[in-house]
């Protein structure tokens, strides 16, 4: 897709990368199952990131998978897109990979929608998503929204 410094972003199209297992194991060791759910949904054919506006990107650094992030139609609001299955390997954190991955997903998404949601699922995730322009919201099922809110959602200060 695009090389930014030593970071290469690749769109996942037909099958998941062979080297997803390292990221899957590391996420599981941190107590997260979302990479496992990514693989399960992909293999079942239920979420393969192929609808308009959807994408699954892998970030590679020196040829190794450094992170992954996806964008799907929000299952709770068909007019919005939702960032999901977003993770950077612990050894690659604090190198700008998450920011490049998120910015690329957002740039593509904003061409098709004016509303993007995310669930910030870790202690550090809210600050990251807020630095990317997302606003914290009080309504479930999302923690943060970028773009137009809905009448049912109230932004917190």
Please give the structure tokens belonging to residue 50.
Answer: 């192929």
**What pLDDT was estimated at residue 152?**
35
Residue 153 lies in a domain: no
**What pLDDT was estimated at residue 148?**
67
Residue 154 lies in a domain: no
Residue 105 lies in a domain: yes
**What pLDDT was estimated at residue 4?**
45
Task: Provide the CATH number for the domain around residue 133.
Answer: 3.40.630.30
Domain count, the chain: 1
Residue 157 lies in a domain: no
DSSP for 89-145 reads -GGGTTSSHHHHHHHHHHHHHTTT-SEEEE---SSSHHHHHHHTT-EEBSSTT-SEE
Domain that residue 17 falls in: 2-147
Residue 73 lies in a domain: yes
**What pLDDT was estimated at residue 65?**
93
Residue 52 lies in a domain: yes
Please tell me whether residue 79 adopts helix, strand or coil conformation. strand
Residue 155 lies in a domain: no
pTM (two decimals): 0.86
H/E run at residue 81: strand 77-88
Residue 152 lies in a domain: no
- Residue pLDDT tens, the chain, 157 long: 444 448 899 999 999 999 998 889 998 898 889 899 999 999 999 999 999 999 999 999 988 999 999 999 999 989 999 999 999 988 888 889 999 999 999 998 988 888 999 998 778 889 999 999 999 998 768 899 998 654 333 333 3
């Amino acid at each position: 897709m695009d090389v930014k410094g030593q970071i290469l972003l690749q769109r996942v199209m037909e099958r998941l990368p062979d080297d997803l297992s390292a990221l899957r194991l590391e996420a599981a060791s941190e107590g997260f199952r979302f990479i496992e759910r990514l693989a399960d949904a992909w293999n079942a054919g239920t979420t393969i990131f192929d609808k308009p506006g959807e994408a699954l990107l892998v970030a590679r650094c020196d040829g190794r998978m450094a992170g992954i992030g996806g964008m799907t139609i929000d299952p709770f609001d068909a007019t919005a897109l939702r960032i999901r299955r977003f993770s950077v390997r612990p050894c690659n954190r604090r190198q700008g990979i998450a920011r490049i991955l998120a910015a690329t997903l957002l740039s593509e998404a904003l061409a098709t929608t004016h509303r993007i949601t995310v669930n910030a699922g870790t202690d550090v995730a809210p600050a990251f998503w807020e630095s990317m322009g997302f606003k914290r919201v009080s309504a479930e099922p999302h923690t943060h929204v970028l773009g137009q809110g809905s009448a049912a959602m109230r932004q917190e200060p």
